[in-house]
Amino acid sequence: MTDQNHEKPHVEDSQNDELDRALDAALTKYSSVEPRAGLEARILANLRVQPTAPSHAWWRLGLAGALAAMVIVAMAVAWKLGRTTHSQLASHPTNTEQIRRPADQPEATASERLHGNTPTRATHRGGAIAVRRSAPRARAVAEADPRLDVFPSPRPLSEEELALARYVRNFPSDAKLVAQAQEASEREVLARMQALANESTESN
Amino acid sequence: MGEGRQVVVREAILDGAGAIDRNMAECSRDERKDETLEQLVREHSALVYRIAYAVLRRHHDAEDATQETFVRVLRYSSKLGSVEDQKTWLARIAWRVAVDRSRQRSRKGEIPLQDPENPQPEPPSCDATADETLQAARLELRVEKLIAALPEKLRQPLILSTIEEMSPREIAATLGINEAAVRSRVFRARQILKEKLAQQTGRRQAEP
């Protein structure tokens, strides 16, 4: 009986040792593998075909992207600012625009009015009148002409002035004579006024 | 030739010489980097492969992971000079690559081409009989299954401890835990494996 009791732990120990050995053997074999022949050569060949320093390439790409984004944002901001200024200017109507003109008559620049050059007209389908702009740039400037902070503000020519200008262009010699006569009469009026003033001072 | 012109020419020559020096320094640095990398491949490719195989359990996957590990090393080759323990550094990269691939595989639900139920038989050694070889192969298979069933916390240090070249210190550095934790986890994992193996053996002996 006592022998059996003594033998039982001994058997358990031997079983345990056997299990340990078996487990050790199995675990040793678990990762004891050899790679296929030529692994090093394959790795080195693969590394040779890899692009060198790709991190720099990414850095450069990122920088280029950031720059492009900045340029786009700057352009957008500039465009928006430009639009705002334009709309602000448009909200201040120019004196040119204040002149009432017929609905079908296009607006003319000051120089066009002075020389009697009206824009060429062309009739389109449906009877609508379209204006071929002979000087679009000058016209755009005239349209966007803001109220300036200078005195006197530029004013368009009145009907009388326009008629006078037309007369001067058509009859320059007559106009010269008229101007000389006008000047002489003005000088005469001035001389008379001067004489009257002198007389009044002397009587006092 | 005027004095100003001479100065300009001298500066141009000095600039050119400086550029050549810089170029040569860069070339020699690149060469040194290549040499270091080649040395790493020659010394540690087998270790990297074993780490990958311990995790992935398939030869072609392990080879792919080894290639990827060295590609990553190439990508971070600028840091190579500042790495103190290159072996541990490499082991850590290999471990991460293998674990990532293993996770990807399980996410995709891939089934291994090589059936673990029927592993490729190893050539029998001269000393062992056919019966002994068969028994050893069965035991290996059972151990492999038991290891796969272990909790990750215990499995990771255990499978790294099966790699001959890895010391407990290196395993700890690879897993980012301390050495004592590695030892205790490996011990616990072994205990569990032994218990389960004993249970299975007892069941088998009782079955006939």
The torsion angle over the Cα atoms of residues B11, B15, B17 and B20, rounded to 10 degrees, is -170
Residue A139 domain-assigned (yes or no)? yes
Q: Which pLDDT belongs to residue A123?
A: 44
User: Is A118 within a domain?
Assistant: yes
Rounded to the nearest angstrom, the minimum Cα separation between B12 and chain A is: 29
Domain contains A119: yes
pLDDT in tens, B148-200: 999 999 999 999 999 988 999 999 999 999 999 999 999 999 999 999 988 88
Residue A129 lies in a domain: yes
Task: With a cut of 60, say whether residue A132 has pLDDT above it.
Answer: no
Closest to B163 (Cβ–Cβ): which among A31, A34, A36? A31
Q: Reply yes or no on whether the pLDDT at A66 is more than 60.
A: yes
Please tell me the predicted confidence (pLDDT) of residue B197. Answer: 86
B193 at the A interface (CB within 8 A)?
Answer: yes
Question: What is the arithmetic mean of pLDDT over A37-46?
Answer: 91
CA distance B5 to chain A (A): 38
Q: What percent of chain B has pLDDT over 70?
A: 73
Q: How far apart are CA B50 and CA B41, in angstroms?
A: 14
B4-39 pLDDT, tens per residue? Answer: 666 666 676 667 666 666 666 666 666 666 788 888
Give B194's contacts in chain A (Cβ within 8 Å): 16, 19-20, 23
What's the gap in Å between the CA of B161 and the closest CA on chain A? 9
Distances in Å between the Cα of B132 and the Cα atoms of B8, B18, B67, B196 are 87, 72, 37, 21
Give the separation between CA B164 and CA A3, rounded to whole angstroms. Answer: 43
The interface predicted TM-score of the complex, written ipTM, equals: 0.70
Q: How many CB atoms lie within 10 A of CB B70?
A: 25
Residue B21's pLDDT is what?
Answer: 65
Residues in chain A whose Cβ is within 8 Å of chain B: 15-16, 19-20, 22-23, 25-36, 39-40, 42-44, 46-47, 50, 52-55
Of A79-88, A109-118, B121-130, B147-156, give the lowest mean pLDDT range.
A109-118
Query: Of A50-59, B75-84, B96-105, where does the model show the most confidence?
Result: B96-105
* Residue type at position B203: R
For chain A, say whether B192 makes contact (Cβ under 8 Å): no
Does residue A68 belong to any structural domain of this protein?
A: no
A26 within a domain of the structure (yes/no)? no
- Residue with more model confidence, A16 or A146: A16
With contact defined as beta carbons under 8 Å apart, do B201 and B190 qualify? no
Domains in chain B (CATH in brackets) are 1-111 (1.10.1740.10), 122-208 (1.10.10.10)
Q: Which residue has the higher pLDDT, B95 or A120?
A: B95
C-alpha span between A2 and A4 (Å, rounded) = 5
CA–CA distance, B91 with B167 (Å, rounded to integer): 12
Residue A121 resides in a domain:
yes
**Residue A84 falls inside a structural domain:** no
Whether the pLDDT of residue B141 is over 90: the answer is no
Number of domains in chain A: 1
Q: Which residue has the higher pLDDT, A3 or A128?
A: A3
SS (H, E, C) A41-90: HHHHHHHHHCCCCHHHHHHHHHHHHHHHHHHHHHHHHHHHHHHHHHHHHH
Please tell me the distance from the alpha carbon of residue B45 to that of residue B148, in angstroms, as a whole number.
25
Strand partners, A120: A132
Q: Say how far apart CA B140 and CA A100 lie, in whole Å.
A: 104
Of A91, A149, A138, A73, the residue nearest A111 (C-alpha): A138
Across A57-66, A86-95, B87-96, the highest mean pLDDT is recorded for B87-96
Q: What is the pLDDT of residue B11?
A: 72
Instruction: With beta carbons under 8 A apart, name residues in chain B contacting A54.
Output: 75
Q: How far is residue A138's CA from residue A133's CA, in Å, rounded to a whole number?
A: 10
Taking 70 as the threshold, does the pLDDT of residue B203 lie above it? Answer: no
At B198, the amino acid letter reads: A
Task: State which residues form the domain around A113.
Answer: 104-152
Q: What pLDDT, on the 0 to 100 scale, is given for residue A11? A: 66
Beta carbons of A30 and B147 less than 8 angstroms apart: yes
